[in-house]
Structure 1
Amino acid sequence: MTTFLDKIRGRTRVVISETERALHICKGELQGILGPGEHSLENGRGTLVIERQSMAMPQFRSAYEKALFDKLPQVAEEHLTVIRTGPGEVAIVERDNRIHTVLGPDERLVLWTDAGPWTFEVIDTAADPALTQKLMRRLGDARQTQQFVIVPVTDGSIALLFMDGVLTKVLEAGVHAFWKAGRTVTQKVIDLKRQALDVTGQEVLTLDRVTIRINLSVDYRVVDPVKAATEVKDFTDTLYRALQLVFRKQLGALKLDQILEKKGEVNAEAAGKIKADMAEIGVEVSDIVLKDVILPGEMREILDKVVAAEKEAEANVIRRREETNATRSLLNTAKVMAENPVMLRLKELEALEAIAGKVDRLTVHNGTGGLMNDLVRLRDDNAA
């Protein structure tokens, strides 16, 4: 509190608490930094300026920063902690052994020393851009992830790491992290497990000018991820197009009947070409299947009629063959009966037995000797 005597002497009393610090400016000139306590300061004609700063905001920010370091370097060194990073460097700043912030390359941070204690570590990311697992987890828990890139890789996959567009490393399964430090860090994850690719609805014009649609399926896996990622832009798209082109060429040189009758041979012929082409870019193709051959509506109707006619002709042949066999059997039986009277008599008795089983009364004239030569008259009770 400023007293009457202070006013007469041209001074002002200023109280600074433990939770703040203040810059002392008089007549526009920086005089120093005020610590906790009561201060009696010269206030010539009301030109005294007190710039208070809270310790709750540990970073020092002031328009008088340059003047402080230029004119009062010892005062600045006593009250402030300065952290700098060069090109390709990052700094991990800790307060009381807890991560406070992470500085990127070519940055400067000024902190109130009394807001600490402060410690920091400057890391040259050009020498080793990878973070250790322990450091990555610490920074992640502190939510200080703006200066590095996290690359997760699942089991059965690998990741290709590119820095400024240049492939630098192949990453196995796990969680990896790399400093950005003024460079572009990208990754491409490649699945190494066996996969299936379907090519559906591809139109093909056969040699006899019939337009058909085919459905293909292929099983493949990446065996050389570096080749697969660098030799072509997209190896999956390359495989898709290879299936299209090869099968169009192979099937376009065949007639429809050949495609329908020898589908397996067509698959084998086309598969060799595709497997050889894909092996050059690090992709192993195992099975290629021509699943479906879809005909136009009018062609299906024609083929249905052809198949129906063929089946009808086959049925007629079978019927004629059975009739011929039956006639031949009757002829053989007749020959046996003609040559063997006893056999003929047995047949007569079998016929008589069959007839007798169906009527109540049977009259035979002229005896059994004329059974097959004379009239056999049947008469039931109702007719009588």
Structure 2
Amino acid sequence: MQWLIDWMLGRTRVLLSETERAILLENGRFKAILGPGEHRLPARGRSLAVERHAIDASPNLASRFERVLLRERPDLAEAHLVTLQAGEGEAAALFRDGALHALSLAPKTRLTVWRDAGPWEIRRWPIGERLEVPEALRAEIERGGFQAQVVKATVEPGQLGLLTIGGRHMGLLEPGVHLFWQTGRQVTVRLVDMRWRGVDVNGQEVLTRDRVTLRVNIAAQMRVVDAERAASAVRDFEDALHRALQFAFRRTLGARTLDQLLEEKVHVDAEAAGKVRAEMAEIGLEIGEIALKDVILPGEMREILNRVVAAEKEAEANVIRRREETAATRSLLNTAKVMAENPVMLRLKELEALESIAGKVESLTVHSGTRGLLDEVVRLQG
């Protein structure tokens, strides 16, 4: 029956639930924004349009009339809508029940939500030269899935990050997780390891002063002490160290003969290392131990050196053998002198000889006494 009365009176009935809102246009112009409940709208002689919105399913205003509504009826917009729009040089965040709902980083971007879908809170932060996201907002961005609007950089322990924005160096980043606003300017973080690490130069060919071609392996320890200088002074500081080691050892080894190199290896290491350390200190690197690990000779040169070493060792062995023979002869001569001057000592030696002979035969017969036997032994030995 009620519909018949509405028809007779020329009214349109609109019923909205608690989770619905409607934009009412009369004769093409905004008339009102309808809240929950039953609405009977006079329609006779009028053209009515009702646009329904389910604010529980989508709290954002999705209407083709949004721009016109905000411009023509700011009073309605103020009463029923909340608009998020960042100012120049600032970031704006919209929170719903304490949780991050939306971000705005540019004045040209705007988001409109239904006020009754809240409660809503808008917070604003200035965007500095480094574009860093405030610490209090980082967890909300990670949790809410807004990574597309930020640039994330992770600096591990033992590292430093070189921050560059739009091609301009903006300083260093300490270990940790850093977020930067995505405003259209390119954000780059170059990681620099500040810990000690090894650098090897393998298979470097060197020509000595006596025209012997060698292959050497060089090892060095290095670390970065000034990350900004190391990154700005050269394009690749590890490659710069590699080349410095090559040139320093090539110059040092090329000024010596092979024999000098083998004899003065420690001095060669110290001389070349001093040049490398001085050069690398200028670009922010600290160089630790530098060592000439291996000196690899050509095959024929190894054979020659082996023969030389063998001859030297043989000569040393001959000298030692002659020395021992001389010492043994001198000892015998001294023993003979003692026996000549001391008959008792001679008799003891005779007894030792007799004992030695007796140990090698089964039986021994003595005919003329011990003295006669010893005389016979002496004659036999003579």
TM-score, with structure 2 as normaliser: 0.84
Match in the other structure for 1:125? 127
1:305-344 superposed matches below 5 A: 305-334=307-336
| Counterpart-to-counterpart distance in 2, 1:320 and 1:240 | 53
> In structure 2, the residue corresponding to 1:371 is in which secondary structure?
helix
The correspondence for 1:352, drawn from 351, 354, 374, is 354
1:218–1:2 Cα change, 3 Å: farther
Measured against aligned partners, the alpha-carbon deviations of 1:39-62 in whole angstroms (never above 9, x if no partner) come to 334567996543221102111122
Q: Please identify, of 282-291 and 248-257, the stretch whose mean Cα deviation from structure 2 is larger.
A: 248-257
| 1:218 matched to 2:223 | no
Q: Partner residue of 1:22? A: 22
Q: 1:109 and 2:114 equivalent?
A: no
Mapping for residues 1-384 of structure 1, pairs under 5 Å? 3-7=3-7, 11-25=11-25, 29-41=29-41, 48-56=48-56, 57-106=58-107, 107-126=109-128, 129-334=131-336, 346-359=348-361, 360-362=363-365, 367=372, 370-371=375-376, 374-375=379-380
- Greater shift, 172-181 or 248-257, is seen at 172-181
State the alpha-carbon separation in 1 of the partners of residues 359 and 150 from structure 2: 105
Aligned mates of 2:14, 2:378 — CA distance in 1: 156
Deviation for aligned residue 1:197: 2.4
Q: Secondary structure at the match of 1:62?
A: coil
- The CA distance in 2 between the partners of 1:296 and 1:28, in whole Å, is 96
Matches of 2:55 and 2:168 in 1, distance apart?
Answer: 45
Deviation at 1:335, TM superposition (A): 5.8
1:274: Cα distance to partner? 0.4
The whole-number CA distance in structure 2 between the counterparts of 1:2 and 1:209 is: 116
Question: SS in structure 1 opposite 2:63?
Answer: coil
Cα separation, 1, equivalents of 2:334 and 2:199: 65
Supply the distance in 1 between the matched residues of 2:300 and 2:333 (Cα, whole angstroms).
Answer: 50
Q: Which amino acid letter does the alignment assign opposite residue 78 of structure 2?
A: E
- Residue identity opposite 1:135 in structure 2: L
Q: Provide Cα deviations, 1:102-126, integer angstroms capped at 9, x if missing partner.
A: 1112221111122122221222213
Matched letter for residue 371 of structure 1: E
Distance in structure 1 (CA, Å) of the matches to 2:43 and 2:167: 62
Q: Which moved more, 1:294-303 or 1:333-342?
A: 333-342
Q: Distance in 2 between matches of 1:144 and 1:137?
A: 10
Distance 1:246 1:50, change over 3 A: same
Deviation at 1:9, TM superposition (A): 5.4
Aligned length: 376
Does the C-alpha gap of structure 1 residues 2 and 306 become closer, same or farther in structure 2, counting only changes over 3 Å?
A: farther
Provide the rounded CA distance (Å) in 2 between the counterparts of 1:126 and 1:328. 96
Offset, 1:15? 1.7
Unaligned runs of 5+ in 1: 377-384
Q: TM-score, normalized by length of structure 1?
A: 0.83
Aligned alpha-carbon RMSD (Å): 3.3
Tell me the CA shift for residue 228 of structure 1. Answer: 1.5
Contact 1:338 1:344 in 2 (8 A): yes
Secondary structure of 2:84's partner? strand
Offset, 1:374: 4.0
Residue ranges of structure 2 left out of the alignment (5+ in a row): none
Deviates more, 1:263-272 or 1:32-41: 32-41
Stretch deviating more after TM superposition (235-244 or 182-191): 182-191
Instruction: Select between 252-261 and 330-339 the one with higher mean Cα deviation.
Output: 330-339
Deviations 1:279-338 (A, max 9, x none): 111112122111222334444344333322322232223223323333444455556666
Shift of 1:362: 4.5
- Counterparts of 1:46 and 1:306, CA distance in 2: 119
Deviation at 1:231, TM superposition (A): 1.2
Distance 1:115 1:68, change over 3 A: same
